[in-house]
Amino acid sequence: MSPTPNGPLSGGALVMVDIPGPTLDDDTAAYLRRHGIRSVCLFRKNVESEAQLAALCADLRAVMGEHALIALDHEGGAILRPTFWPFAPGAMSLGAADDEALTADVNAALARQLRRVGINWNFAPVLDVNVNPANPVIGERAFGADVGLVTRMGRAALAGHDRAGVAACVKHFPGHGDTSLDSHLALPRVDKAREDLEAGEFAPFRDLLPVTPAVMTAHIIYPALDPARPATLSRAVLTGLLREAWAYDGVIVTDSMGMKAIDDHYGRGEAGMMALQAGADLVMALGRREAQEATLNAIQAALDSGTLDATQMQASVRRLETLAARYPAQADDTLDPQADAALLEGAWARGLSAYRDPVALPPGSRVLLVAQAKVPRENVSEASVDAQTLADDLRGVYDVHLHAFEDPAELDWAALRAHGLPVILATTSRHRHAALRGVRPDLHLALYNPYAALDVNAPALLTYGFQPEARRAALRWLSGHLVAAGTLPFPA
């Protein structure tokens, strides 16, 4: 069943799914055809090599048709699934550099990487204003804590994507920057007055709507807008505010409905139908096949019974088709992502920031490096750098003795000091650790969460990321070949 202007509508046209692996197997292809699914989100499990990814996208487009939407979370920083392209800095690194042209160029490079293989939709940029240093899920994914900075950098990021021919998607509307809970794990609330939301969280989204192809919703309750339902399921938010008050007619896509903020409170099928009723155009039904089918079946039943308004749903399909037509899922093998390596390397260096006036130890010094042995991937982010790799990096500058820890609470700082060596602490995890509050190394390398610099009582160098390009920028600073010229994009 396929959607037509006046004919029956397939619920699959309103649902985005993920697929099991790096190839499109016959069973999955049949499943996509059977339900009329046109939208797929890819993850690290789907990515092995550039050639494999291009083949997968071509197979997906062949099955899903000319209106195929193939998406990826390709933000930069820690949110990058492919490992075979040069790594781009994340949003906060670009916020620290505070250069709109650079932000546009980096985002165009991200988009070119995707177009190379046929991915036509990037779930970026993040427009959350990260005013809460304890935010467990946004942090360095945001451009910063200032509304004006986020808006300027967001506009540049959108322009870069459009210039390179990939649909961008701003997130997480109406704002995930002042939460202390992760919606992957719980249902957050933002208890702010409407006027405060208007001046803060809302502003980047509202101001950039004219140049925004798509908006992703947040699974957060905003009592000033709707005291009962999270934004993803709230007609007051998606239709009343976004569609009617702000006159937005681009695509609205939900965040993953498999996140506990939704799954633990509403159930997949019911929540998918509620999101469409609220005003979403596309429901992101990720996870195991049974959960996807629960969403697909509930939506199809609601379409067949008239519970979902046919005119509204046809308008959603038209928006999705318009997006796919403007940004077709066609690979362009004339693009060479490696050609952007120098641009991205330089962009990481531009964001490098100093806190409390750090001074590098002289090259050749004997130092004690304290770093976490291994940091696994955490929900949206990929695995960070391990202690041994970091020690090997630093041996290009210093005589390094490594102390690798599993849990920072187990660190004995008196014993570490007893070595008689200058101590360099590297923080490499997404989350801040209470056990590191007030500790006093000689130098702190904040290689992931920049807010960790607020915990450790030492001068710090902030890279806003752990990718090889970020580490090389840090090494250039340590060896005296680079100045940390970035500006902290949050209050210190």
Q: Do 117 and 331 form a contact (C-beta atoms < 8 A)?
A: yes
- The DSSP secondary structure of 419-453, one letter per residue, reads T-S-EEEEE-SSS--GGGTT---SEEEE-S-GGGG
- In 3D space, the residue among 443, 327, 428 whose CA is nearest the CA of residue 373 turns out to be 428
How many CB atoms neighbour CB 20 within 10 A? 13
Distance of alpha carbon 361 from alpha carbon 422, whole angstroms: 8
Beta pairing partners, 122 = 72
The residue annotated as part of the active site, out of 226, 255, 393, 455, is 255
Question: How far is the first Cα of the chain from the last one, in angstroms, to the nearest whole number?
Answer: 56
Beta pairing partners, 215 = 170, 252
Distance of alpha carbon 422 from alpha carbon 432, whole angstroms: 23
3 state DSSP class of 425? strand
Q: Do 131 and 489 form a contact (C-beta atoms < 8 A)?
A: no
152: amino acid identity, one letter: R
User: If phi over 0 gives left and psi between -120 and 50 gives alpha, with beta otherwise, what is residue 143?
Assistant: alpha
Distance of alpha carbon 411 from alpha carbon 435, whole angstroms: 9
Q: What radius of gyration do the chain's Cα atoms show?
A: 23
> Alpha-carbon dihedral of residues 98, 101, 103, 104, nearest 10 degrees?
160
Query: Catalytic annotation on 162?
Result: no
Query: Residue ranges of the alpha helices (H) in 191-288?
Result: 194-199, 202-208, 235, 260-263, 268-278
Tokens 């030492």: give the residue: 458
E strand spans, 336-429: 353-355, 366-372, 399-405, 423-427
Query: Catalytic annotation on 255?
Result: yes
Is the torsion defined by CA of 286, 307, 267, 244 positive or negative? positive
* Cis amide leading into 20 (omega within 30): no
Distance of alpha carbon 22 from alpha carbon 44, whole angstroms: 9
73: amino acid identity, one letter: D
Q: Do 15 and 7 form a contact (C-beta atoms < 8 A)?
A: no
Active-site residue list: 184, 255
